[in-house]
A and B are shown apart, each in its own frame.
Chain A
Amino acid sequence: MRVSLKWLKELVDIPVPLEELIDRLDMTGTKVETVHVLGERLDGVLIGQVLTKDKHPHADKLSYCTVDIGADEPLKIVCGATNFKAGDKVPVATVGTILTGGVTIKRAKLRGLESQGMMCSARELGVGGDASGLLILPEDAPVGVPFSEWAGLGDTVLELEITPNRPDCLSMVGVAREAGAVFRTAVRTPEWVLTESGSPVGEAVDVQIEDASLCPRYTARVIRGVTIGPSPDWLAERIVASGARPINNVVDVTNYVMFELGQPLHAFDLATIGTAQGRASIAVRTAKPGERLVTLDGQDRELSAETLVIADPCGPVALAGVMGGAATEVSGRTVDILLEAASFDRVSVSRTSRRLGLISEAALRFERGVDPELARRASDRAAALIAEVAGGRVAPGIVDVYPLPAKPIELTLRVDRMNALLGTTLVEEEVRQILSSLGIDVAGEGSVLTCVVPTFRPDLAREIDLYEEVVRIWGMERVASTLPGGRARVGRLTKEQRVHARIGEALRAAGLNEHIGLAFISLTDLERIGWTFGPGEGPVELLNPMSEEQSHLRTTVLPGLLRAVSHNQRHDVPDVHLYEMGTVFKTAEGRKLPRERGVVGGVLAGSWNRPGWNDPAPALDFFDGKGVLETLFDEIDVTNWKMRAAEHPWLQKGRSADVIVAGDVVGWLGEVAPPVLEAYDVSGAVTVFELDVKPLVKAVATDVRYREVPRFPAVKVDVALVVDDSVTAERVGQAIRSAGGPLLESVRLFDVYRDPEGATVRRVREGAKSLAFSLTYRAADRTLTDDEVRSIHERVVRKVCAAVGAEVRS
């Protein structure tokens, strides 16, 4: 809502400077978004006098003039207008001026002659609607003086953010009322004198409303014998200040009254409205199948059955509350006006306006809600103004079909309850004063007030709504700050939330940085990685995605992680260590809401560091990823886990594993398969993992207990075992542990050896490898003797060899 300060000051006393006005409006809920100083742009427009006017030698329709603007040399200007002569005073835009609409005046050659400026029309200066020729100024206009200074154009326009609950503030009168309440100053309502003559309106117009709930009120007036033309300057100025474009005197009046009172109006050319029984016949109804309407903007529109229209016997003539029709538009030939002031259903207008993509000032107001009580006053006001600026006679009376009269509602306000909710100590008198200033009638004795809410405040429907009015006008800044007292309460995180935090901490300790990606993917992503679903399951589809690449919700964080690696590589950052904790989605036939799962995923590419003078920085691979997960499990106290070789389409075969926690597969780890890397424009080995969070949380050991710190010395014995390649390290390790018994404290694999390809001297047999373990023996209660250890160790080695087919490497 654009508010001219000049106009506002006619309606209400503003006892403070601009800065304070803005601040008080902000602090009472009418945010001032921007302040425009009008006339500022016209700084380069000076009053000039035409000295000579000659025909342009190369163009019939142009003239070539010299114009005195009070400078040493007159300007030479090429001009297309014809309504002036030598000696006339006109506004001249000098080089560098930016006119309304953003046109910058430049030195330019027009048909071979240089033009050093531009003489302007009223429209070009944004001070009126007339574009037919130059704005000819009075003879006494002082040459060389800035035009805006001479014309007194200086005005300030405040652009206000009006919240959707305040339709009343979409009018000058509403904003004035608000300001009056804020500053406790007098508000002046516009006044007018309406003179009626000729035959009564009822003889000329008939109105029928089909559905009162869609149109609670429709009024029509007739003004006969108008002369259509440009608006007077004062009117055009206000239309411009309010952000509209002057069109003609009648249309400008309807807009003016809308800006002033908040009631959108529409003027029809009465002669174009179809008649029945000698009267223009207006019906407010929904559109019939197949009906169309060419609207004011020239578009031929198909109307849906829910579109509310204004129709004559031949069909629709306007979209109710949204836009008029081209055929019934007020034009230069119009003589008699049919003036509509009505109220329409908010939802109906909003649907039509949105469906057709037509956002108009009228639709905006109807969507928010226009007080039905306004229609008659607005119609009278507009009729009087039309008669004033366009001549014509207002037909006596008004056709006023008002099947659903709006009634003021009555609310009770308990001052004690209000103070209890706000934390204030206001007394009745203050409350009464604030509400009255907003136009609310307050009655009642003591601390229970009876409030009658005017129809222009549909947002005040409950007691609580009145509390808000009181506190916002009284001042939220005056409410004393407190903290809730209440009963004892304890703030804490749940176990799940705490484990969640620890997972992040562990992964960061392992060197991974947290990433948050967008949760969208495309079907192409799923294809690229070869993701599959169970029977009846699938990804979650967006009905209105922003793009094809973001058409579904992610089923895994993998594509997002690979994209991040690609982004880094493209920016010459080869070392990427990321993790993401977030939600993944999938749905299934018959499901309304999808299944949401918390996962933690990670990616490693490049090395931990760039190589340094003391750091060879080997490339990261599967075992770095595994090391990250080992750190994670260690840190969050998950002990019952293992990895098992597994195949997944997105992982490289032979370098991928399932992660098993407490016997269940909870995720996977591996190096990304080369075709997938290529699809995501990623190079080098990339290790990724993804785990479900829920089973991890469940597997976290809750009762970690003290174990005695060893007091007696340990004995370490190394053994290298040669086994078939197919025997996993895990199996040999388990065999050692189970054979070791209570005295075997720990087992550490410290070397894996295979003969190199094509070795001439074999150290281990073909198809086998050597695994070297360091075994630590210790007793909790004594020092083990050499003999004791030797005999245990021999037994362990014998058992393990038998269990996994190993032989001791000599």
Chain B
Amino acid sequence: MGVAEDLSSLRDEALDSVASANDLTALEAVRVAFLGKRGSLTSVLRGLGALAPQDRPVIGQLANQIREELEKAIATRRDELASQALAARLQAESVDVTLPGRKRSPGKQHLIHQIVDEITAVFVGLGYCVAEGPEVELEYYNFTALNHPPEHPARAATDTFYVRDLSDEASNVPGECDVLLRTHTSPVQVRVMERQAPPIYVLVPGKVYRRDVADPSHLPRFTQIEGLVVDEGITFGDLKGTLEHFVREVFGSTRRVRLRPHFFPFTEPSAEVDVSCGICGGEGCRSCGGEGWLEVLGCGMVDPNVFSYVGIDPERYSGFAFGMGAERIAALKYGVPDLRLLVEGDMRFLRQF
């Protein structure tokens, strides 16, 4: 039997082994068996020196061809096996993508403070700063300096919470207590005007108190947002334009605004501000009580009497003020049917917004 025949059967045997290798380990064993340092083909090549010189080139060339062929076959088979293995792994690792994910939900901001922040952003954009003041107030700031006459009904103990005064100071209201829970954020107006000269552009969000039993439309403690502008040349038209801008930003650009003359002790002229109903667009529907309009805030030009309490010259400066309830906006904008939901801390409610 000639060397050439030996090589040829070696080749067949090797290709068979490559084809039948079922994993990378087996394939490597095949490679070592034929092409390794002591492999069969390597031995043949090593044994070339023993051949007759005239046979050497022919056999050498043949052996090299077989080696190249074998290497190629091994490489191909390796790729095949690798992709099979990967496919198997991916198959094994596949999941039911409809199973729920793993998460820790971030918390939600309270709806009322979302509203406050949204409105604050609108007015900061218009050049306002945010002012704050105490929740327990003096009667002077809450009523007197806001031009409420002594017999004003809001001062009554049926409407306003009064607080025990532990000082020896005489009360500003003879025979009655003059420390109370502020009934609106307006006392902050007075405090701001006392400490700051015009121009004044402030927004005052804060908690206020009224002596109401908690029911679907009342809370004894709720949130007001008040605005105050005092500058030279401020007009009633400026007030209107400001509130229209606010309503468009917060309620949407299609909503209309109307000012209805009204009365507040600390503004003159005063108005209530209605926004067209978002459901019927002003035609009148059940949600707006058939009126087509929803009352959202109160406003007016700062009364000269208020200016005189804080020493601002009403001939030189003019200003406007407006105030609204965040809870009412929550009820109107989000359809919250019962304000008590806002203070219960019910996770199922808080997580909705």
Q: A514-B108, A516-B110 are in contact. Are A542 and B240 (CB under 8 A)?
A: no
List which A485-511 residues lie within 8 A (CB) of chain B.
485-487, 489-494, 497, 501, 504, 507-511
Q: Which residue of A423, A487, A571, A579 contacts B236 across the interface (Cβ within 8 Å)?
A: A423
Chain A nearest CB from B26 CB (Å) reads: 38
Write out the residue numbers on chain A whose beta carbons fall within 8 Å of the beta carbon of B103.
Answer: 609
A517 interface contact, C-beta 8 A? yes
B345–A564 touching, CB < 8 Å: yes
B100 on interface, CB distance cutoff 8 Å: yes
Known contacts A166-B263, A464-B268, A545-B161; decide if A513 and B236 are in contact (CB<8 Å): no
Candidate in B100, B108, B258, B343 with the most chain A CB atoms within 10 angstroms: B343
Residue among B110, B167, B168, B345 with max Cβ neighbours from chain A (10 Å):
B345
Q: Is B303's beta carbon under 8 Å from chain A?
A: yes
Tell me the nearest residue of chain A to B261, going by C-beta: A29
Residues of chain B lying within 8 A (CB to CB) of residue A609:
103-105
The verdict on A351 contacting chain B, using a C-beta distance below 8 Å, is: yes
CB distance from B205 to the nearest CB of A (A): 10
Q: Does B241 contact A (CB under 8 A)?
A: yes
CB <8 Å contact, B219 and A588: no
Size of the chain A interface, CB-CB below 8 angstroms? 102
Cα distance A806–B314 in the bound complex, in angstroms:
77
| B157, closest chain A residue (CB) | A544
Residues of B within 8 A of A504 (CB): 109, 113
B279 close to A (CB within 8 Å):
no
Known: A508-B109, A596-B135. A482 touches B241 (CB 8 A): yes
**How far does the alpha carbon of A615 sit from the alpha carbon of B100 in the complex, in Å?**
10
Minimal beta-carbon separation of B294 from chain A (angstroms): 14
- Specify the chain A residue showing the minimal Cβ separation from B120: A493
Check A476 against B261 for contact (C-beta < 8 Å). yes
A505-558 interface with B by 8 A CB criterion? 507-520, 540-546, 550, 553
The 8 A CB mask of A156-168 against B (1 = contact, 0 = none) is 0000000111100
Q: When the two chains form their complex, are residues B169 and A592 in contact, meaning their CB atoms are under 8 A apart? A: yes
A420 touches B235 (CB 8 A): yes
- Within 8 Å by CB of B166, from A511, A575, A579, A588, lies A588
Contacting residues of chain A (66-85) with chain B, CB-CB under 8 angstroms: none
Instruction: Tell me if B318 counts as interface (CB < 8 A to partner A).
Output: yes
Please tell me which one of the listed residues A464, A477, A507, A517 contacts residue B343 in the complex, with CB atoms under 8 A apart.
Answer: A517
Q: Chain B residues near A484 (CB, 8 Å)?
A: 201, 229, 231, 234, 238, 242
Q: B156 near A593 (CB under 8 angstroms)?
A: no
Interfacial residues of chain B within 283-341, with CB under 8 A of chain A in the complex: 301, 303-304, 318
Query: Could you tell me the distance in whole angstroms from the C-beta of B221 to the nearest C-beta in chain A?
Result: 5
Partner of B241, one of A483, A491, A593: A483
* Given A354-B156, A514-B350, A544-B157, residue A481 in contact with residue B237 (CB < 8 A): yes
Contact check, B151 vs A492: say whether CB atoms are below 8 A apart. no
Q: Knowing A479-B237, A583-B135 are in contact, say whether A543-B201 is a contact too (CB < 8 A).
A: no
Number of interface residues of B (CB under 8 A): 92
Query: Does B211 make an interface contact (CB < 8 A)?
Result: yes
B57 at the A/B interface (Cβ < 8 Å)?
no
The answer, yes or no, to whether B344 is at the interface (CB within 8 Å) is yes
A577, B350: Cα distance in complex, Å: 11
Point out which of B158, B162, B163, B303 has the most chain A C-beta atoms below 10 A from its C-beta. B163
Among A184-192, A467-475, A763-771, the one that faces the other chain is A467-475
B3: Cβ under 8 A from any A Cβ: no
Instruction: Say whether B99 faces chain A, with CB atoms less than 8 Å apart.
Output: yes
Are A543 and B157 interface neighbours, CB within 8 A? yes
B102 interface hit (Cβ, 8 Å): yes
| A15 CB → nearest B CB, Å | 21
Are A468 and B268 closer than 8 Å at their CB atoms?
Answer: yes
**Interface of chain A residues 324 through 380 with chain B (CB within 8 A):** 346-347, 350-351, 354, 367
Q: Are A482 and B237 in contact (CB under 8 A)?
A: yes
Determine if B44 is an interface residue (Cβ-Cβ < 8 Å). Answer: no
A490→B127 contact, CB < 8 A: yes
Name the interface residues of B114-139: CB closer than 8 Å to any CB of A. 117, 123-130, 134-138
CB of B107 closer than 8 Å to a CB of A: yes
Which of chain B's residues 247-281 have a Cβ closer than 8 Å to chain A?
258-263, 268-272
Whether the pair A511, B207 counts as a contact (CB closer than 8 A) is no
Closest to B138 in A: A593
Smallest CB gap from B176: residue in A: A543
Q: Does A578 belong to the interface (CB within 8 Å)?
A: yes
- B348 with A571: CB separation less than 8 A: yes
Contact A517 B235 (CB under 8 A): no
Residue of B nearest to A628 (CB): B107
User: Min CB distance, A141 to chain B, in Å?
Assistant: 37
Which residues of B have CB within 8 Å of A594?
A: 136, 163
8 Å CB contacts to A: which residues of B173-214? 177, 179, 181, 199, 201, 207, 211, 213-214
Add 16 more A-B contacts to A544-B162, A553-B136, A561-B345 (CB < 8 A): A27-B260, A346-B151, A424-B236, A464-B268, A493-B124, A493-B129, A501-B117, A511-B107, A513-B110, A515-B110, A516-B112, A546-B220, A560-B345, A567-B346, A573-B346, A589-B166
**Shortest Cβ-Cβ A-B pairs, 5 listed:** A564-B345, A423-B237, A29-B261, A423-B235, A163-B263
Between-chain CB contacts (< 8 Å), 25 pairs: A31-B260, A347-B150, A468-B268, A468-B270, A472-B269, A477-B259, A481-B241, A487-B199, A511-B104, A513-B108, A513-B110, A516-B223, A540-B164, A542-B164, A543-B177, A567-B346, A576-B345, A578-B350, A582-B207, A592-B138, A592-B166, A596-B136, A612-B102, A614-B100, A615-B102
